Amino acid sequence: MSRFNDFNNPQVTALPAHLKQFIVDQNYAHYTPVDHAVWRYVMRQNYSYLKDVAYYPYIPGLQKAGLTIEKIPDLKEMNNALAKIGWGAVTVDGFIPPAAFMEYQAYRVLVIAADIRQLKHIEYTPAPDIIHESAGHAPIIADKDYHEYLSYFGSIGAKAMFSAQDFELYETIRALSILKEMPDADEAEIKKAEELVAFRQDNMGEPSEMALLSRLHWWTVEYGLIGNLDEPKIYGAGLLSSIGESASCMTKQVNKLPYTIDAVKYSYDITKTQPQLFVTPNFQNLIDVLEQFAATMSFRRGGEYGLQKAIDSKNTCTAVYSSGLQVSGTFTALATDKEGNVSFLKTNGPTALSAGNKQLKGHGKSYHKDGFSSPVGRLKNFEKPLEDFTLNDLKTAGIETGKNTMLQFESGVTVTGKVKAVHAENNRVQLITFTGCTAKDEAGNILFDPAWGVYDMAVGEKITSVFCGAADKDAFLEIAYKSVTGTHHPEYDEHTLQLHKLYQQVRNRRHMGQNFGYLGNVWLMLQKIHHDDWLCALEILELLDHEGVERTLAAEIRRFLEHKAATEPEYKKLITDGLYLIKHPVEQKLVV
């Protein structure tokens, strides 16, 4: 990770180390004049169209998020603005894993891809870019009900169980999005990558909690509509940042469905436009649906259900005892009593014990490097759970430091040995450490042998919660899964650098408001060396038309653009929309 800059934003400063690893420098100077022109074109089109179809806070939200139409946002300016509404922003390298993305939301930090789409992908890109992340997500953040939903979603998503298949799909989608943004990508390679994405989407097995949550996230945060089914407004960032789909999504060809918990049944393809969208009547409904789904998740259900999900996940997970003790590791086995209550759990490999998401001293994964196992449940013949024992209760049960004892659990598990230490927090017993300890199940199978060393027995009547990831992620030194595939950063040849200079000269004329006659030279160079360009030509025409100068030159450029739109279908909408904005300019008060 490059040197971390928190921009003096409290939300960014509060990020834990395992999330900071994804942050990259924005490198603002790397944006080219063409990049700024792409930003400006998309933002002007967005404003022109979205002022009528976006949910109300979008336009004033641009300003509240520190965004302007004229230039790509600077992260420092964005953080200064977002801090006023309790949010922050950081730049990352393309797609990051869903679990990390969710956790950023929980910390109220927007994750913004540092790169910007190429001119040839100006309408839509499958790769996350600064247009999508900032122009899509940031403006709506100003709405309090919405940003409460977003951060709450993040806190729930950060605990969702994910699978190996989730990571495989994430990697293939990331690889495809990077490939599609490469200037000279091989079509055969793209087709092969698309087929791999389709194959993995079709062979996910039973969707994990993260996969299902990702669907809810997609149909709300990314592609959500709000209002009534007949005339909904856009609030989803994927639509707000796509000048193509923001228009097409409003047609009758795209089915509009009421947003309910049933949205989890609808998978999505990130590389294609959506065949249906979901409409919520208000943002409170989003929270209500999220609560419905959260009630089914392992972190709420705990018990055998949650532990089995953890075992199936094969990832680092955390089981929480009713005493508050948290066991973080890779779970491999569990046992239940006759009533189906968890009576025993086991991890393999590095494991850590925590309480209140803080690792217990001396109980990190280097100490429990070979795994951890412990009974769960109540002791026989006692009216209250062991975690609620007072000092007198412990003495009555024979649990005293330096003395031998035998504990019999209702499940049939027995633990015998010399008590070395008793750990309690908040008047709750959480851990009893034994030497010379033997643990057996009801059938007499050995669960722990004295030869294995010191035995740390977790205390708790039940497992109240199970969630993905370590309780104390930074102490666990949990490096969240990070892709080894980097995004493509172009190296420009001399021909392209010349084009950048022409775009910059047009930009200079716009900012200085003089020497418009010089634009004729820029047009000549475009015609001579870069005759395929349309956006720079459009920007020249915009300036000439608005200033009422060089009318002959303006007419020549207009004829060129109209001919290109008529003969090259891929440019028709882009040029037609651009010409429309020359006649119907964006209000200047929102431009700078």
d(CA 429, CA 458): 9
Per DSSP bridges, beta strands 463-468 and 317-321 are: antiparallel
Residue 195, number of CB atoms within 10 A of its CB: 12
Residue 147 assigned to a binding site: no
233 in helix, strand or coil?
A: strand
* Most distant CA pair in the chain, distance: 101
Q: Which of 44, 24, 290 is nearest to 157 (CA)?
A: 290
Per DSSP bridges, beta strands 463-468 and 255-258 are: unpaired
Helix segments in 295-331, DSSP class H: 298-301, 303-313
Q: How many CA atoms lie within 13 A of 145 on its CB side?
A: 13
At position 219, the amino acid (one-letter code) is W
Q: Which residues contact 291 (CB under 8 A, 6 or more apart)?
A: none
Beta bridge partners of 56: none
512: part of which helix (H) or strand (E)?
A: helix 494-512
Calculate helix-pair angle for 164-181, 187-202, nearest 10 degrees.
160
| Region class of 449: left (phi > 0), else alpha (psi between -120 and 50), else beta | beta
Residue 279 CA: distances (Å) to CA of 145, 300, 394, 437: 16, 27, 57, 60
Residue 132 assigned to a binding site: yes
Q: Compute the CA torsion angle 420, 425, 431, 433 (nearest 10 deg).
A: -10
Q: What angle do CA 52, 536, 499 make, to 5 degrees?
A: 140
Per DSSP bridges, beta strands 255-258 and 276-280 are: parallel
Q: Which of 413, 423, 418, 419 is nearest to 373 (CA)?
A: 413
Residue 257, number of CB atoms within 10 A of its CB: 15
Q: Tell me if 187 sits within 8 A of 148, measured CB to CB.
A: no
Q: How far apart are the first and last CA of the chain?
A: 33
- Which residues are documented as binding site? 132, 137, 222
- Which residues are documented as binding site for Fe cation? 132, 137, 222
